[in-house]
Chain A
Amino acid sequence: MTRFLRLSLILTGLIMLFPSQGMAETPFPIIHEPEGKECVEDEDDMRRNHMNYIRHQRDKTMREGIRAESEGSYSLSKCIDCHVEANDKGVTPTHNDKEHFCVACHEYAAVQIDCFQCHADRPQKNIKRSSSDQALKDQLQEMLAAKDMGDVQ
C-alpha cells in the first residue's frame, strides 16, 4: 500500500513538473471583437445566454410577425453585422471558416450550430449577389417557350 502511495506521489510530482506534457490544452480560439462598439449585453452574459436570447424571439417574429427593434430585442443579423467583418485580405469569413466569429468558439466548445444552414452568415453588404439569378430566368423563359410548342396544356 505504501509502495503504491509513494508511486502515485512521484507520478503526481512528475505531472506537476511538466504540465505541458501531462495536460496539453486546446488553444483558446481567436475571437474577433469589433472595436469601439458596445454589445447589447455584457460579454459574460452574452457568452452564456446568447442562444436563449435569439431563440426566444424567433417564434415571435416568425409566427406573430413582431419585427420591432425595441428595447430587449435581439437579432442574429445584428450580431453578424458587428462581429463578422472582412479580414486583412478583404475576405469575409463564412461559416465554413474557423475564422468566423461564431464558428471559432463553437469549434472550441464542440457545439454544432445549425443557424447558418438557413441564415446569412455574413453581413448583407459583404455578400455579392447578382441582381437576379440568370440561370433561373433562362429556365423560366425556356419553360414558357415550351408551352408555345403546344406540349403543355
Chain B
Amino acid sequence: MSDQINDSRRQFLSKAAIAGSVTIAPGVFLHQTAQAKPDEKAVTSATRWGMLIDTDKCSKGCTDCVDACNQEHALTGFDRPETDAQYIRKVSLVEKQTGHEISLPLMCQHCEKPPCVDVCPTGASMKREDGIVLVDKHICIGCRYCMMACPYKARSFVHETIENQTLSAPRGKGTVESCTMCTHRVDKDGIPACVEACTDENHNAMTFGDLNDPESTISKELKKHGGKQIRADLQLNTGVRYQGL
C-alpha cells in the first residue's frame, strides 16, 4: 500500500530521529515503552509482538494450543490432512544419536523480513507495523507464491467453500491464510488463543508479549535465558522464539 514505509526509509528516519534527539537534549532519549493501544489509534512499530515457546514444557501428545486455535478460527477438516488448513502444526524432532525427542508447535514465525511479503504480487501478504504478518484476503488472488517462499510451511490455502465463519476470522475459498497471532484479541489487549489455552491448562510453555519493551516478561526471559530462531541462518529475525532446542 502507498502509505506504507519501506525498510530503508524507516532506517533513515530512525537514524534521523536519534540524531535529532541527541542535538536537542544530549543523552536523553524519549523512550516509549509499549502500553495498551487506544482503540482508535493505528498500530505502531513501537511495539513488536512476539512469542516464546519453551519446548521442555511442551509435551508430545498435547494438542491444546492447536485445538484452541482451530476453535478460535473455526477451522474445519475435510479429511484431507495434506491440504486442510493448519495455523499451528505440532512438530517432533528426534536427535538420531541420543533418541532425545522434542515436540513443539510451529506456526507463522512473524519474521521481521518476511519472504512471503517479498514475493506477493498484489501486496496481500503484508506485515503490520507491530510486526504481525498477515494475509489481506480482500486482495489475495490465491497464487500461493507466499506458501512456496515460507521456510516454515506456515501457510495454508483454502480449497473448499467455507461456511459458518466466526466474526473475528473471516476465511474463504481461494485465499491463503496463516496464524494471525490473534490480531483480533491482541488489538483489544488480549493474548492469542493458543497461549491462553497453554497457560489455562497449566503447561505454561508459551509466552506472548512485546519484544520492544525491555520490561515485558518475554523480553526479560529472552535476555536471561535466550531463545533460538528456527532457521536463524536465513536472518529473518523471527518474532517467535524457542527455548530447549
List residues of chain A with CB under 8 Å of any chain B CB.
58-60, 62-70, 77, 94, 117-120, 124, 127-129, 131-133, 135-137, 139-144, 147, 152-153
Q: Is the CB of B184 within 8 A of A118?
A: no
List residues of chain B with CB under 8 Å of any chain A CB.
1, 37-43, 60-61, 63, 66-67, 70-71, 74-79, 81, 84, 90, 92-94, 96, 126, 128-130, 134, 136-138, 161-167, 170-175, 183-184, 186-188
Centre residue among B134, B167, B175 by max chain A CB count within 10 A: B167
Residue of A nearest to B174 (CB): A117
* Chain A residues positioned under 8 Å from B81 (CB to CB): 139, 142-143
A118 to B176 CA separation, bound complex (whole angstroms): 12
Q: Please name 5 further chain A to chain B contacts, defined as beta carbons within 8 Å, in addition to the given A60-B42, A135-B76, A153-B93, sorted by A numbering.
A: A65-B42, A117-B173, A118-B172, A139-B84, A140-B66
A128 to B173 CA separation, bound complex (whole angstroms): 20
A137 to B71 CA separation, bound complex (whole angstroms): 10
Selected from A64, A69, A129, the residue in CB contact (under 8 A) with B164 is: A129
Q: Is the CB of B40 within 8 A of A136?
A: no
Residue of A nearest to B123 (CB): A63
Q: How far is the CB of A134 from chain B (nearest CB, A)?
A: 9
Q: Is the CB of A136 within 8 A of B76?
A: yes
* Chain A residues positioned under 8 Å from B126 (CB to CB): 63
Q: How far is the CB of B129 from chain A (nearest CB, A)?
A: 8
Q: Is the CB of B42 within 8 A of A64?
A: yes
A10 to B24 CA separation, bound complex (whole angstroms): 89
Q: Is the CB of B167 within 8 A of A118?
A: no
* Chain A residues positioned under 8 Å from B74 (CB to CB): 129, 133
Selected from B77, B138, B162, the residue in CB contact (under 8 A) with A62 is: B138
- CB-defined A-B contacts under 8 Å, sample of 29: A59-B136, A59-B138, A60-B42, A63-B1, A63-B136, A64-B42, A64-B43, A65-B130, A65-B186, A67-B187, A68-B38, A70-B39, A94-B163, A117-B173, A118-B165, A118-B171, A119-B170, A120-B164, A120-B170, A127-B164, A129-B74, A132-B67, A133-B70, A133-B74, A133-B75, A133-B76, A140-B67, A144-B60, A153-B93
Q: Is the CB of A66 within 8 A of B184?
A: no
Residue of B nearest to A141 (CB): B63
* Chain B residues positioned under 8 Å from A135 (CB to CB): 76-79
* Chain A residues positioned under 8 Å from B165 (CB to CB): 118-120
